[in-house]
Amino acid sequence: MQTATVAELKSAIDSGRATVIDVREPYEFDSGHVPGAINIPMATIPVRLSELPTGADLHIVCESGARSWQVCAFLDRHGLAATNVEGGTGMWRMNGLPLEAGVPTR
């Protein structure tokens, strides 16, 4: 499984290479998330695999990196490459990086 720091994620976003999937619950996502992230809660990933973009540079994020790690492991078992963002949204926030709030989920 690949991992990335929040600085590496920011760089990937800035270069247009990253598709960010936030696997937190909608209320967590609505309170603040990585700009441009798509909310697909962890519990729904198995039934929503077809919604994940193929050929994209998927970066999976949660609050701390634990749920996203589990999702990355699941995706890997299903033949989808994904990068776990270490420290998640909490680390993103602690590094003073910008957050969006209130954007609808998918």
Question: Does residue 64 fall inside a structural domain?
Answer: yes
Give me the catalytic one of 45, 62, 82, 91. Answer: 62
Query: Could you give the strand order of the β-sheet that contains 18-22, starting from the edge strand earlier in sequence?
Result: 2-4, 83-85, 57-61, 18-22, 38-39
Residue 62 among the catalytic residues: yes
Question: Does residue 100 fall inside a structural domain?
Answer: no
Query: In total, how many domains does the chain have?
Result: 1
Q: Minimal CA–CA distance to 10: which of 42, 28, 40, 37?
A: 37
Q: Which domain covers residue 81, as residue numbers?
A: 2-94
Q: Read off the pLDDT of residues 53-105 as tens digits, 9 standing for 90 and up.
A: 887 799 999 999 999 999 999 999 999 999 999 999 999 999 999 999 876 55
The pLDDT mean for the chain works out to: 93
Residue 32: CATH number of its domain: 3.40.250.10
